[in-house]
Amino acid sequence: MTNDCAVYDDGVLRITNTDDPPGLALAGEIDESTYDGLVGALGSVANGSADVHVSLAGVSYCDLAGLRAIVCVTGAGHGNGGNGDRDARRVVLHEVPPQLATVLRIVGWDSTPGLAVDQPPGSPDPRRGGQPGSVAR
């Protein structure tokens, strides 16, 4: 559920806060022109003790640098690709568009410690092991 107040909106990328679960919902295109806005919004939710939830349902394009910023929002990947601390809070990606799920798999970031990808009910990706509706680690 989102509230109406956008934390960033430049007409290309719109970012709103979500309350339940707490995090951000992204819509639009993410590339170098919207990167700073993305990083700023991610910074506003990066500090805290709870998992960070990011809905990507409305993302029509996201480049690799933007995807990296999202995956690393809670500090995953600092050091050399994840420090393996499984007690750290996670970033949970919701409603990942198929092409971004493919990109995560191609670059191998889908197995980043501290990253979870929420599998929407009824559309399990057969190339992943998670159960429908589960949060696969």
Partner 1 sequence: MNRVEGTFEHWACIYDDDSQFLEAALPFLADGLTLGEPVLAVATPANLELLGAALGERSADVDYAESAFFGRRPPRRVGAFYRYWKGGQDRSRGSRVRILAEPAWAGRSAREITAWTRMEAAINVTLASTSISMICPYDARTTDAGILADALRTHPAQVAGSRQIPSAQYTDPEAFARSCDTRPLAQPPDGAQTFGFDGDLRGLRRFIVGSADAHGLAGDRADMLVLAVSEVGAYLKSRWPASATVRIWEQPGAIVCDFRQPGASISDPFLGLRPAELVPGDGDGLWLANQICDRMDIRSDAAGCAIQLQVPSSHDQEMAAQPGTRYPV
Q: Between 45 and 73, whose beta carbon lies closer to partner 1?
A: 73
DSSP class of 39 = H
Q: Between 2 and 14, whose beta carbon lies closer to partner 1?
A: 14
Tokens of 37: 């806005």
* Residue 109 contacts partner 1 per CB under 8 A: yes
Residue pair 93/54 in contact (Cβ under 8 Å)? The answer is yes
Query: Within a 10 A sphere around the Cβ of 45, how many other Cβ atoms?
Result: 20
Site string for partner 1, 29-68 (x = CB under 8 A): x-xxx---------------------------x-xxx--x
DSSP class of 116 = E
**Non-local CB neighbours of 90 within 8 Å, separated by 6+ positions:** 51, 52, 74, 114, 115, 116
Buried b (16+ CB within 10 A) or exposed e, 3-24: eeebbbeeeebbbbbbeeeebb
* Residue 82 contacts partner 1 per CB under 8 A: yes
* Residue 123 contacts partner 1 per CB under 8 A: no
Q: Between 21 and 103, whose beta carbon lies closer to partner 1?
A: 103
Q: Between 48 and 68, whose beta carbon lies closer to partner 1?
A: 68
Interface contacts to partner 1, rule CB under 8 A: 12, 29, 31-33, 61, 63-65, 68, 71-72, 76-77, 79-84, 98-99, 102-103, 105-109, 111-113, 127
